[in-house]
Each structure stands twice: as structure tokens, then as C-alpha cells.
Amino acid sequence: MGQKRLFGLKNHSFFTFSTRFYPLITAFSIKKESHFNTTVTYVQLRCQFIKRTFRETRSPMSFKKISVNIIAALFICFVLIQFIRPTISHPSGTGDIQAPVQVKAILQRACYDCHSNQTDLRWYDQIQPVYWQVAAHVKAGRKGLNFSDWKSMAKPDQQAKLWEAVNQIAEGAMPIKSYAMVHPSAKVSAADLQVLKAYLLTMVNNKPADTSKTNALEKQYLQQQNPHPATPLPTALNGITYIPDYKNWQPISTTDRFDNGTMRVIFGNDVAVKAIKDGHINPWPNGTIFAKVAWDKLSDKDGNTKTGAFKQVEYMIKDDQKYASTKGWGFARFKTPKMVPYGKTVMFATECINCHRPMKDNDFVFTEPLKF
């Protein structure tokens, strides 16, 4: 045919050149990326226009034709990706949370899709590429908090998780915004939040003058009279060493946790104090250190409260480079007057950053410095 053309050009005064662009899918890959414990899977398609020059007389391909080609190619991809599906399993779990009907109803409609084994997806959740996102959320959500495995958690852990849940809702971080937008029934109203808070309070024993707390204070006092011989300073698994100097820092805020009967003071080092003075606290400068100290809250029958035994001190150390994997903050927690480093593996800091995540627009810091 080429031959014929070449030699059959008598009718034409000269060759006609036409250039066409063909959309061609030249690369197709599935990529996974991890942000904290969420894995996002997405498909990358590279579409290139292949330029071809024809030596002939036909008219160049019209814009309309090119558009049709692109749409057809996208449609084929859309159909193909429907078949690449991560599985969402529904194991039975160790035992569902037992809570009043009202409480459970809120959790079920707002949280269970991602935080239980009873994931119930709507049809529009099942279409790719949305489904990838949903499956990643379910996986990461179940890992952090699974109401279907509630029974295997110790009581204090259940209480801590519930407090974290209430906190995440109050900060507007849960349920995930993109999900709540397409699942209007998942929205948690202010009244719902009150129901959850009230339930959480029933789990707490905030009795005045708790004798065990008074005893703990007494014991601690006696220990301080007979201190242990000096030992090297304890170090957390991520290499952060206990910093005794926090006692000389400036208090920058104080909080009271309603659910677990503790009182806290947050201290800041010189860098933190200077940053507050200069108004440079979002982001906080490198070198900032916070120490949050918690004591038992002791209340007497007249309703007066004071600090009881020392519970723990927690640090957040700002260093963009060193702690890049936990958003620029190094976390450490030391418990009891013996300063036992918290955490079974170096991954303990993931738990810290996850709970601080609702404050991501505030450099992951909850504390609003006190105004004097």
C-alpha cells in the first residue's frame, strides 16, 4: 500500500504531511504510600501523546476525535481497575463493646464502618478508585481502635480509648471528614457527644478523698525521704533521656482530665517561652521542649482539690530533622517516681502522634499558652 501511494502521487502536486497525536497509556502502576498507619493505594497511569507524522493526504485528526480517544482510554482503565480489589474481611473479633443502647447506636452509625469488624459499605463505597481509600481507612481504623475486639482490652485501656474517641470527635477529627460528607448519618452532633461523655464519666471513679490515692501520696512522700542511690537517667526506646531540669522551666498551661482524675501542668523550656513571647508558635521552633506532668487529683468532701501522688512526665521535643517520622516531634513518657520509660517497642510514639493528630493545624500541640 505504501508503495502504491508513493508511486501513485501523480494526482498530487507534492506530498502532504500530517501530524497526529495519539493518546497512549505508556505506564500503569499501583502504588502504596503510608502516612502514619494509614496505607493509601492508588493507581498511576501515564498517558502520553505519541506524535506520528504521516506522509499522506488525509486531513489531520480532529480535536473531537482525540477527545473521544482519551475518554475511551479512561473508560477502559476505569473498568479494569474495578477488578483490582483489596479484601475487607469480617472476622468475629474477641467481643463487642457493651454499652447503653444510645451510646452504641452513635458508635455504630458513626464509627463502626472503620472501627469494627462489622464494616457495612454502601454501593458507592465499592466503586474504584474510592474503594481503595475506603479499604485503607478500614485497615488503619481497625488497627488503632476496634470495637469488635473491645473485650480483650483491659478496663483502663478501654477507658483511655474511649477518652481518645471523645477527644477525636470533639476536635472534629473523627469521623473522617471525607467520609462524613458522603455518609450524612455518620455525623456526631453536640448532643451525641454529650451522651458519649456522660457514658465515659460513668466508667470513672471520681470519689472524693479516694483513700488509695491518699495512701499513694503518703508512700511517695516516704520514698522521697529515703531516696534511692543515684542511677543513670532512664532513656526511652527512641533514645530520649529523662530531663530532670523541667522543674526549673516555666509553667505555660494547666489542664484537668475529667475522666481519669489527674491534674496536669505543662512546662516549657527557654526556647518555648521565647517563642511564646515572640508569637512564633505555629510551627514551634526547633529546640522547643514541653514537659507535661501529671499528678493524682485529690478532692476532699468540701470539694477542694489538690495534687496527690506524682504519676508521670511526658516530653515533646521539636526537631524537624531528627523526628521527621513523627511530624518533627520526639515523644517520651516516664512513669511513676522511678521514671520508667513508657512503650514496649519504639513504635510507641505512633500512639502519641495519632492522638495529637487532631491538632495538625496547630503543629500537633494542644496547649494554648496561658495569657498573663
Shortest reach from residue 68's CB to ligand HEC, in Å: 37
Closer CB to ligand HEC, 80 or 182, in the complex: 182
The type of residue at 250 is: Q
Shortest reach from residue 115's CB to ligand HEC, in Å: 5
**Cβ neighbours, 10 Å, residue 318:** 24
Shortest reach from residue 50's CB to ligand HEC, in Å: 40
**Cβ neighbours, 10 Å, residue 298:** 20
Shortest reach from residue 116's CB to ligand HEC, in Å: 10
Closer CB to ligand HEC, 73 or 173, in the complex: 173
Closer CB to ligand HEC, 200 or 298, in the complex: 200
Closer CB to ligand HEC, 18 or 350, in the complex: 350
Closer CB to ligand HEC, 168 or 298, in the complex: 168
Shortest reach from residue 365's CB to ligand HEC, in Å: 4
Residues found near ligand HEC in the complex (CB under 6 A): 36-38, 110-111, 113-115, 137, 140-141, 144-145, 164-165, 167-169, 174-176, 179, 186, 188, 255, 257, 264, 266, 290, 292, 314-316, 331-333, 342, 348, 351-352, 354-357, 365-367
Give which of 316, 360, 343 is closest to 35, Cα–Cα.
360
Shortest reach from residue 26's CB to ligand HEC, in Å: 33
Helices (H), 283-332: none
- Give the chain's radius of gyration (CA, Å): 30
Rounded CA-CA distance 369/273 in Å is 9
Closer CB to ligand HEC, 16 or 235, in the complex: 235
Shortest reach from residue 114's CB to ligand HEC, in Å: 3
Shortest reach from residue 348's CB to ligand HEC, in Å: 6
Rounded alpha-carbon distances, angstroms, from residue 13 to 10, 191, 266, 283:
7, 83, 88, 71
Rounded CA-CA distance 7/216 in Å is 104
- Closest residue to ligand HEC using C-beta atoms: 144
> Residue 56 forms beta bridges with which residues?
none
Closer CB to ligand HEC, 167 or 220, in the complex: 167
Closer CB to ligand HEC, 315 or 323, in the complex: 315
Rounded CA-CA distance 263/267 in Å is 13
Rounded CA-CA distance 144/114 in Å is 10
DSSP assignment of 46-101: EEEEEEEEEES-SPPPPHHHHHHHHHHHHHHHHHHHTT----------SB-----H
Under 8 Å between Cβ of 186 and 104:
no
SS3 41: strand
